[in-house]
Amino acid sequence: MKAFGLFLVLCVATSGASIAFAAPPTPGDGTADPYLWLEKTHGERAMQWVHEQNARTEKRFADNAQFERTRKAILGVLDSDARIPYVHRRGKYLYNFWKDKQHPRGLWRRTTLAEYRKDAPTWQTLLDIDALGKAEGRKWVFKGAQCMKPAYRRCLVELSPDGGDAVEVREFDVATRSFVKNGFHLPVAKTDVDWIDRDHIYVGTDFGPGSMTKSSYPRIVKEWTRGTPLKDARTIYAGKKSDLAISASHDRTPGYERDFVYVVKDFFHSELYQRKDGKLIRVDVPLDAQAGAHRQWLLVQTKSPWTTGGKTWPSGALLAIKYDAFMAGKRDFTALFTPDAHTALSSYSWTRHHLILDTLKDVQSRLEVLTPHPDGSWSRKPLAGAPALSTVRVVDTDPDHDDAYWIDVTGFLTPSTLERGVIGAKRAEKIKQAPSFFDASAFTVSQHFATSKDGTRVPYFEIAPKGIKPDGSNRTLLYGYGGFEVSLLPRYSGSIGRAWLERGGVYVIANIRGGGEYGPRWHKAALKANRPKAYQDFAAVAKDLIRRGVTSPSHLGAEGGSNGGLLMGNMLVSYPQLFGAIACEVPLLDMKRYIHLDAGASWIGEYGNPDDPKQWSYIKTFSPYQLVKKGVHYPPVLFYTTTSDDRVGPAQARKMAAKMEGMGYRNVWFYENTEGGHGAGADNKQSAHMHALAWNFLWNQLQ
């Protein structure tokens, strides 16, 4: 069953123009905001300011030999032909999307398992995005394709004109490798689609005035018949303007065909309905629970304690029941997972006859196979997991056909291994091995725990050169996110290895509250009024690194993007004494205005509503744009964003940089890429440029 694809991406990760408002709210301090003009994304005055800022920043940090070496080193990783081409199985083919030096916008392609096992597989190109862009005079960015089971011949391909979340949807015939003449087609908008059958699809898109939510996503979902005008599509559900998004999907599993409508209230609350005989029947689970149907089963993942069927299930549990029995009123759930103080459920994946659980114990992966039996009971056994301080994740299964699974095993110093196994077989088969991009033998990985202001133990990972001296002189980069229940797990990064570690730096990942490292409780601990706890956690890790002699404030840099950009903004204004430099990327910063910019209203569940005076009373305590003051010794800061970011938008970074410069701060730097959306890069060259800019800035400032 398909969930609505909404995710606040962190470079860590969708129509394109920003929203303009007459009579915008004031910052809340009784004065008008003099930088509102920078909210006009493509405004002439705003873009002139952007070009001037870019030229200044490029001249200072990108016009030198070291930058070019770093950029080329990162691009060498991103464009390497030796990377693993990760695949998704559809029928007898394995599908992959691939970018490299020759194909910067990418190739959508496929091969067979027999070919994929070879060192140099033969691929069949389905769609060349560079050639398409050249032919049409557009800089298309591929955003994915939904192909109709079981033949997978017809696909709905999504193309972004600039890398943002808004996409054009076109029907594509895989057999002829061409777009279908007079097929399903939707112009650029924030759109959600799903196949019903060959001649019908569910579609949520911009149908005209009033059809989108305040969060800029579809408010209405319709059933559209091939060959008919979109305006004649039949409305299935119309949500409220205040809803986050509405979507629908069709489950084509033989014998278990079902239709569902998703009413997403906010990032953490939604309603699920089965569409049956023209009626919508509520799947009656808590609003904050995640529910999914697979064949005869309904799985429910709780986000808060739930009392039902005479039992109270804890937050973070995974429960199973027969779907038809649940819809008939039964509530005799079986607990498949219950959390403890150290363990949380990261994800789960179905195969044909089994369920694979991916759990985290103190932010380290464990896999387990669960098997349902005819009597309703479940058995379990471990599946080969990852080495210590590493991550193993299921990257693909095909629950319609067999019990094969594909897993990726990686660590900070261990390049990924892609393995294929079949549940019940003795061992998984190594299919692909990623290359090493730096000499890992020179470094060591360790896990530590800092104590936050309220006594909470906060884990963090440290990757450092062997034998570093604890004299506080080591350039250290501290990275964090802390929001939306997103976990930061051990993973290999050739770019970090080349651009930071090989230069002698220390790299640190902070697993602060707001993330999902310990399940819903870890996330909820930093929601809304408790948001500052995430910042206290990050500051505690910084202090612990200083206490241990790993680094010192003048040698400690911090980096984060999106929600992590808000984290960086708060480090800048509330903990400036701890850092020597900060890179603040595609950030949220003006928390008074955020719900009026692009998709900002969708995050009220995370931060609160600043238009409500009671909620603004706590939101203003973590709104960097309002907290920044004159006469404070702030560390050097680089803000970077993209013009095409239609999720957070470029205005936040623009306004913060302009405000600080207006206050007289000179060591404030700004850079804005035109393409790439919220991910900040439409191709590998752009991504390499942005990363090199940030890491060179930090390295140079931390001397």
Q: Catalytic amino acids? A: 562, 678
Rounded CA-CA distance 654/39 in Å is 8
What tokens does 56 get? 């200044």
What tokens does 157 get? 């391909």
Count of Cβ atoms closer than 10 Å to residue 529 Cβ? 16
What Rg do the C-alpha atoms of the chain give, in angstroms? 25
Which whole-number Å values give the CA distances from 562 to 153, 181, 559, 576, 680, in the listed order?
Answer: 37, 39, 11, 20, 10
Q: Could you tell me if 582 and 557 are in contact, meaning their C-beta atoms sit under 8 angstroms apart?
A: yes
Label residues 209-230 b or e (16+ Cβ within 10 Å = b). Answer: eebbbbbbbbbbbbbbeeeeee
What tokens does 90 get? 């559809």
User: Tokens 């005819």 appear where?
Assistant: 374
Q: Could you tell me if 373 and 380 are in contact, meaning their C-beta atoms sit under 8 angstroms apart?
A: no
| Per-position DSSP letters for 70-136, written without gaps between them | HHHHHHHHHT-TTS----EEETTEEEEEE--SS-SS-EEEEE-HHHHTSSS---EEEEEHHHHHHHH
Which whole-number Å values give the CA distances from 645 to 162, 243, 563, in the listed order?
Answer: 9, 22, 14
| Per-position DSSP letters for 192-233, written without gaps between them | EEEEEETTEEEEES--STT-B-TTSSBSEEEEEETTS-GGGP
Rounded CA-CA distance 525/531 in Å is 8
